[in-house]
Amino acid sequence: SRAWSLKSRPNGMPVASDFELIDLPTTALNDGEMRIANRWLSVDPYMRGRMNDVKSYVPPFALGEPMQGGAIGEVIESRAEGFAVGDVVQHFLGWRDEAVLPATQVQKLPALGVPPQQFLGLLGMPGMTGYFGLLHVAEAKAGDVVFVSAAAGAVGSTVVQVAKASGMTVIGSAGGADKCALVKGLGADAVIDYKSEGPLLKKLLAALQGLGKDGIDVYFDNVGGEHLDAALATGNLHARFAICGMIDIYNTSKPTELRYLARLIGMRIRMTGLLVSDHMGKTAEFYRVMGGWLAEGKLKNEETVFEGLDAMPDAFFGLFTGGNTGKMLVKL
Ligand code: NDP
């Protein structure tokens, strides 16, 4: 079987030569293990952080070793109790076509009647990030005005839909007219094309005015930079910011200029860092509530699919150039 490994640590934007396909030897299964043919692989922005040699909440990828990430596959051989050939499962040995794992590191998919790859997106890690980040970290409530950046992406598109299903007003920002139309289609009350001419703050103020609102109650940050600054500039008294990601600076060391940071004080804005792994004890709530909205037709799944293991680095690069709407996936 084959796996992607990191050949060199990217300097700025990752490039193809940072990655290398390596052959993995086929090993016999031990008792309790299963062999899984991967069908769907996930690429996620946080993986960029694992490519740097720095201490973080996940250890860096080791050079020359198979990389890891979310994956969904089919059991093709099993010596694990409770897992049979043909079972579709989720696990963390992505970036490769085949995985051998003990049952303790493999999950069966919840029976929600959706295609399996949705458990890497809307109903998986990014969906949980949006759901728990909005409702538990930012404590957003019906009637709140919510601003979300990277609104056409996996996490952002979930935030838009969870907010609408919960009775909030939503302003979504995304790059380009097509993505903005998509965000509108997901239910957003107003959209901002951050790539169009003009300062972002001006566009946010215009969107607020169009909705007859003075400011935002919640900011869900996927981007950082100018987006965070515009959110600070428009935050209402006691606004809550869930700081989820800062993709604007993942490939650069450029400093973020926050001209409106001092509004934190006057408006008593609460800014909280969010890590989805802190919320894994509440997945039953997530599946129950999201499953209910799904059954009521309140959630749409968005995904962008690259074909084949060879295309995996390209899919990954696409996250930083806006090549995806919804969840970025690789299909094997
Ligand atoms: P997305 O599906 O949103 O893909 C990334 C998107 O970000 C792109 O499609 C692009 O959309 C946008 N983007 C890229 N560069 C920039 C930029 N410089 N400025 C503005 N937008 C940009 O990825 P995810 O939904 O998986 O992740 C979204 C964010 O959430 C990331 O920051 C990620 O790190 C974070 N995250 C955090 C987690 C946590 O536990 N804290 C867990 C999961 C994700 P466009 O075309 O609109 O520019």
- Helix, strand, coil share of the chain (percent; to 5): 35, 25, 40
* pLDDT (average), residues 286-297: 96
Tell me the average pLDDT of the chain.
97
> Ligand 1, atom 1: nearest CA belongs to which residue?
153
pLDDT, greater one: 254 or 58:
58
User: Reduced to 3 states, what is the DSSP secondary structure of residue 279?
Assistant: helix
* pLDDT (average), residues 70-77: 98
For residue 260, give both structure tokens: 């409106």
Residue 103 CA, ligand 1 centroid: distance in Å: 32
Q: Which of 196, 247, 286, 325 to mutate to test the pocket of ligand 1 (most atoms within 8 A of CB)?
A: 247
pLDDT band at 25 (very low <50, low <70, confident <90, very high): very high
List of residues 6+ apart from 259 with CB closer than 8 A: 229, 233
Residue 149 CA, ligand 1 centroid: distance in Å: 8
Residues within a 6 A CB radius of ligand 1: 44-46, 126, 129, 150, 152-156, 174-175, 179, 222-223, 244-245, 247-248, 274-276, 319-320, 322, 324, 328
Does position 296 have pLDDT exceeding 80, yes or no? yes
Question: Can you list the domains of the chain with their CATH numbers?
Answer: 2-119+303-331 (3.90.180.10), 125-277 (3.40.50.720)
| CA atoms lying within 13 Å on the CB side of residue 247 | 22
Residue 215 CA, ligand 1 centroid: distance in Å: 23
Residue closest to 233 by CA, chosen among 198, 254, 257: 257
For residue 180, give both structure tokens: 């903005």
pLDDT band at 57 (very low <50, low <70, confident <90, very high): confident
CB 299 within 8 A of CB 327: no
- Greatest alpha-carbon pair distance for the chain in Å reads 65
Residue type (1 letter), 158 = T
List of residues 6+ apart from 125 with CB closer than 8 A: 42, 44, 70, 276
List of residues 6+ apart from 251 with CB closer than 8 A: 10, 12, 13, 14, 48, 320
Q: How are beta strands 303-307 and 270-273 bridged, if at all?
A: unpaired
* pLDDT (average), residues 86-103: 98
List of residues 6+ apart from 177 with CB closer than 8 A: 193, 196
Residue 289 CA, ligand 1 centroid: distance in Å: 24
Q: From CA 331, how far away is CA 123, in angstroms rounded?
A: 17
* CB neighbour class for 61 (10 Å; exposed up to 12, middle 13-18, buried from 19): buried
Q: How many CB atoms lie within 10 A of CB 244?
A: 29
Does position 286 have pLDDT exceeding 80, yes or no? yes
The per-residue pLDDT for range 163-196, each reduced to its tens digit, is: 999 999 999 999 999 999 999 999 999 999 999 9
pLDDT at position 254: 79
pLDDT at position 91: 98
> Ligand 1, atom 14: nearest CA belongs to which residue?
320
> Ligand 1, atom 7: nearest CA belongs to which residue?
150
pLDDT at position 58: 87
> Ligand 1, atom 19: nearest CA belongs to which residue?
248
Residue 315 CA, ligand 1 centroid: distance in Å: 13
pLDDT at position 204: 98
